[in-house]
Amino acid sequence: PSTMSCVGTMMGLPLAGLASGFVSSSATIHAMGRRTRDEAELMPGLVAGAVLSSVATVVQLALVTAYLAPTLLAQLAWSLLLGGAVAVLYGAWFTLHALRAPDTPARGTGRAFDLYAALMFAGLIGAVLTVAAALNAWAGDRGLLATAAVAGLADAHSAAVAAASMVATGTIQPSLGVVAVLTGLSTNAMVKSILAVTSGGSAYAMRIIPGLALMMGAAWLGILL
């Protein structure tokens, strides 16, 4: 049985969003937004799932940097902890709202992703990553931040991999690697905000964007610690 049939729609949606975030948080936010147009009564659960998908992004960033460059993770730790904590708290708030709402059976299949939309989004990711690779080859190390910003438009993890790899080889200092990772995460948050608007409309976006802004603010604040 599906996650939602086991634990109820309103609890299943946050769990599905968190799990789907390990595949793509951006695609999850987009897919949840599309569902709000047809199933507005599920808004609290869909928002909770969308927000919690960003927790998966933070976990993956920690794993990537820990594997490739532990020294980078040491300097990035506070940023990831603070950003992740904010995402968890913000998502938990909407999860509580979802649990207080009457449990409504989902009219769809119960899956977070629309296959056609996911394939189109994957094509967009591939195109942006190609541009990022070309920019890095053309600009070299000096283009790291620009590359991280462009790569973040498609996937925050690609920016982290590039930065961690350069830290591991001694090409750049960990402090610059931290800025590169957060730059990619920031542009990725901007893309998520745009996807929230275009997929779910203003009501959905007004719930998603503040969470993304608070998460990024906390992550950048972590540099000071």
> Between 11 and 188, where is the model more confident?
188
pLDDT tens readout for residues 40-61: 888 988 999 999 999 999 999 9
| pLDDT over 60 at 121, yes or no | no
What is the rounded end-to-end Cα distance, in angstroms, of the chain? 45
pLDDT of residue 128: 55
pLDDT of residue 166: 81
| pLDDT over 70 at 137, yes or no | no
pLDDT of residue 170: 85
**Of residues 192, 138, 132, the one with CA closest to residue 162:** 132
Instruction: Kindly state the DSSP code that residue 141 receives in the 8-state scheme.
Output: G
Mean pLDDT taken over the chain: 83
Query: What is the pTM (predicted TM-score) of this model?
Result: 0.81
pLDDT of residue 23: 84
Lowest mean pLDDT among 20-29, 41-50, 160-169: 160-169
**Residue type present at position 195:** L
| pLDDT over 90 at 67, yes or no | yes
